[in-house]
Amino acid sequence: MEINWLGAALAFVAGMVVAFIWYQKGFIADAWEKLTGVTPERSRPARARNMTQLLVANAVTAIGLAAGIAITSEATGDDSVGLALLVGFATWLAFSATTLLQHNAFELKPAKLTFINTGYQLALLLAMSLAIGLL
């Protein structure tokens, strides 16, 4: 197995773009702020830590997804973009969506917040998968 490092690097960039767009004022951020109570002012003291965590998490996700796509591609003999997107979707469904659904339900978080957060994770994983699959 060989990891597509260029694809992983582009996936990392794609992930950062998705995060930037998803949480821009007026897009989804307004609803997310209302549901979480986390405003830019309230989060300012933790911004450096949060951005560091986002960078690390997106890097690990991009590398892990590149490895998962490489393993699946090698096992199936298929190196198409469609396969990369399928791996991204399966990753979201099996790990991200189910985990967020479970945690948010037990933490009594609103369904709309679960939808926003799982939607973000789906967009993130598909964008990363697309970047990897195109290379």
Rounded distance between C-alpha atoms, residue 91 and residue 99, angstroms: 11
Rounded distance between C-alpha atoms, residue 91 and residue 24, angstroms: 25
Band of pLDDT at residue 38, cut at 50, 70 and 90: confident
Structure confidence at residue 1 (pLDDT): 72
pLDDT in tens, 40-60: 788 788 888 989 999 999 999
Yes or no: say if 31 and 100 are a contact pair by the CB < 8 Å rule.
Answer: no
Q: How many residues are there in the chain?
A: 135
Say if residue 23's pLDDT is above 90. Answer: no
Residues 6+ apart with CB under 8 A from 22: 28, 29, 120, 123
pLDDT in tens, 60-118: 999 999 999 999 999 999 999 999 999 999 999 999 999 999 999 999 999 999 999 99
Q: To which residue do tokens 């998490």 refer? A: 57
Domain boundary assignment for the chain? 5-134
Taking the CA atoms of residue 81, residue 99, residue 13 and residue 66 in that order, the dihedral angle to the nearest 10 degrees is -50
